[in-house]
Structure 1
């Protein structure tokens, strides 16, 4: 592209020089020739005006005096009636410029000048025009190179940006080049890079959430299947199979919620449900794991509570808190239900060392973990709680107390969700991802 730009610019300049240069040479040549002819004519008339008074007064015409009146490169022939011709200067050879003037007494003056003088003047003019044309060509080449670099370098840079996008590097470069058309292309590429970055982030987040959220149900399901495989009691097989089917249904619900939240994290299908059933189901599901670890899991508090939310989502939130206590806590894990205002609260606590002081404010941020875990569970749990209009908080660090707040009134939940959709949707879309302990 650089070569084409330079060649095209140089071609335009050469055409312009050829058109205007030839015209200028022709005009200057004619101007110089006409000027030389006019000068010779003027010289002849001037000599006649000098000779004529002397002829009228019958005075002698002094050739030496007249020689001082003409140029050194010119020749003059003066003819006076009844007198010998007078020659001044050396007569030029070859082509000459000639002018003749005649006085009233019959005298005549012929002035000649060699055309070589005109040729030399034309040559000097051509050299000047040629030098100017050469400077114009050099300037045009430099300008073409600069312009070509100005246009070609941004295009090369944009091509590298597009190649980076194709290779999976969606970072925008935010470079601008001072050329509106190229800056427009750069804007589009940066916008595409940002969109691709958001898509990749959402895909990675979905993959991480799915792997984390599906791990526990799959583990529980495998444990049930192992129980079935090692027992010969039909009743036990039937009981374990029924529990396994229920876990498969919950697993399906987990997948559905992950897919739904990946499209819109606020599309919760909240309904009124019995909180005791969800708590009881989670305790039964996790009791074997705690028994294997030599620990206990118990529940207490107010019974018969009705809460508004998605039972599957609430179960996933409790599962994340219970698993968190199993991995990072110690002693007995207690689930306690209570009422505060118009909200039902489920608290999960254990007898472990608690949450480190430096992690307290960041415990729900994604990838934040006190030990070698994924740092995803609590972040996903908070998202699930907020999707149904609830909230998940750390009430106490030592011993750790996590609390899930759920509304007890469907109307109040709907009003809060509508306000959140109207006021927080833009902030939610740009919020940094929250990471687990």
Structure 2
């Protein structure tokens, strides 16, 4: 494309130079020739007037007297009746330009000039025109190269950007080139890069969240199945199977919740539910794991509290906090419920060393972890809490106390069956 632009621009310039150059040469040649003829005619008229005046005054007329009146590059022939012709200057050879004038006394003056002088002047004019044409060609080539670079370099850059997008590198370049059409393509590619980046981030986040959130239910389910496999008591088998089915339902809810959050992290399905059931289910589910670790998990506080939220999401938030205490905390883990204003609060605390000072409020950021863990659990838990209008906060660093705040009253109905979303800080 670069070569085509240069060649096309150069071709246009050459055509323009050829058309106007040839026309200019013809016009200048005719102008120079006509000017030379006018000069010769003017010279002849001037000489004949001089001869007339001298004849009227009966003055002497010789070649020496008239030599000062005739330029060196011209030849003059004065013919007076009854006298010998008078020649001034050297008669030119070859093609000449001449003019003859007749005076009042019957004398004739003929002035001649060699056409070679006209040819030389035309040649000088042609050289000037050729020089200007050459400069125009050089300027056209430079302009064509510059314009070609201005157009082809952005196209090459845009092609590289598109190739990067195809290879999985969605970083937008935000480069603009001063050409409206190319800038529009760059805008489209940048917007596409941003969309691809968001999609890739969502996919990676979904994969990480799924890996983290599914690990706990699957571990609990496998423990129940192991209990079933090791016991021969039919009553125990039925009890453990019932718990395993409940955990399968929870696993299904986790998967559904992850998919819903992947599409829209603010899409909640908040309802009013009994908080005791969720806490009881979590304590029973995690008790075997804590027993294996030589620790205990207990619940306390006010009973029969109602909270607004998604039971499955609240269970996942509590599971993340309980698992975090199991991995990083120590001693007994306690789940305490209390009421503050129009909110129900579930506090999860343990007797461990607490959150390191260098982490502080960053404990809820993704990839932030005090030990060798994914750093995802608390971030996912906060997202789940906020999706239904609640919030998750670290109330105390040492000993660690995390509080899940849930509304006690359902939000006012909005259009249709959807509820208005509370403001989440």
Instruction: Determine if the TM-score, normalized by the shorter chain, exceeds 0.5.
Output: yes
Shift of 1:413: 9.7
Shift of 1:19: 1.0
**Given the superposition, is the C-alpha separation of residues 417 and 405 from structure 1 closer, same or farther in structure 2, using an over 3 Å criterion?**
farther
Counterpart in the other structure of 1:277: 277
Q: Confirm or deny that 1:236 pairs with 2:262.
A: no
Asked whether the equivalents of residues 81 and 107 of structure 2 are also in contact (C-alpha less than 8 Å), the reply is: yes
Asked whether the equivalents of residues 6 and 144 of structure 1 are also in contact (C-alpha less than 8 Å), the reply is: yes
Is the partner of 2:265 in helix, strand or coil?
Answer: coil
Q: Distance in 2 between matches of 1:351 and 1:414?
A: 44
Shift of 1:100: 0.6
Q: Confirm or deny that 1:258 pairs with 2:266.
A: no
Shift of 1:268: 1.7
Shift of 1:46: 1.2
Q: Distance in 1 between matches of 2:105 and 2:394?
A: 132
Counterpart in the other structure of 2:194: 194
Asked whether the equivalents of residues 347 and 401 of structure 2 are also in contact (C-alpha less than 8 Å), the reply is: yes
Q: Distance in 2 between matches of 1:2 and 1:141?
A: 12
Q: Distance in 2 between matches of 1:335 and 1:107?
A: 139
Shift of 1:419: 5.3
Structure 1: gaps (5+ residues): 429-437
Q: Distance in 2 between matches of 1:370 and 1:417?
A: 38
Counterpart in the other structure of 1:206: 206
Shift of 1:260: 0.9
Superposed, which structure 2 residues align to 1:144-163 within 5 Å?
Answer: 144-163=144-163
Query: CA-to-partner distance for each residue in 1:388-421, whole Å, 9 max, x for gaps?
Result: 222211111111111112222124698997254x
Is the partner of 1:418 in helix, strand or coil?
Answer: coil
Counterpart in the other structure of 1:8: 8
Counterpart in the other structure of 2:184: 184
Is the partner of 2:228 in helix, strand or coil?
Answer: helix
**Given the superposition, is the C-alpha separation of residues 413 and 307 from structure 1 closer, same or farther in structure 2, using an over 3 Å criterion?**
farther
Structure 2: gaps (5+ residues): none
**Given the superposition, is the C-alpha separation of residues 160 and 391 from structure 1 closer, same or farther in structure 2, using an over 3 Å criterion?**
same
Asked whether the equivalents of residues 411 and 419 of structure 2 are also in contact (C-alpha less than 8 Å), the reply is: no
Q: Confirm or deny that 1:332 pairs with 2:332.
A: yes
Q: Distance in 2 between matches of 1:68 and 1:342?
A: 124
Asked whether the equivalents of residues 407 and 413 of structure 1 are also in contact (C-alpha less than 8 Å), the reply is: no
Q: Distance in 2 between matches of 1:60 and 1:386?
A: 126
RMSD: 1.9
Q: Confirm or deny that 1:42 pairs with 2:42.
A: yes
Superposed, which structure 2 residues align to 1:17-416 within 5 Å?
Answer: 17-411=17-411
- TM-score of the two chains, using structure 1 as the length reference: 0.93
Shift of 1:229: 2.4
Shift of 1:56: 3.3
Q: Distance in 2 between matches of 1:39 and 1:271?
A: 111
Shift of 1:319: 0.7
Shift of 1:235: 2.7
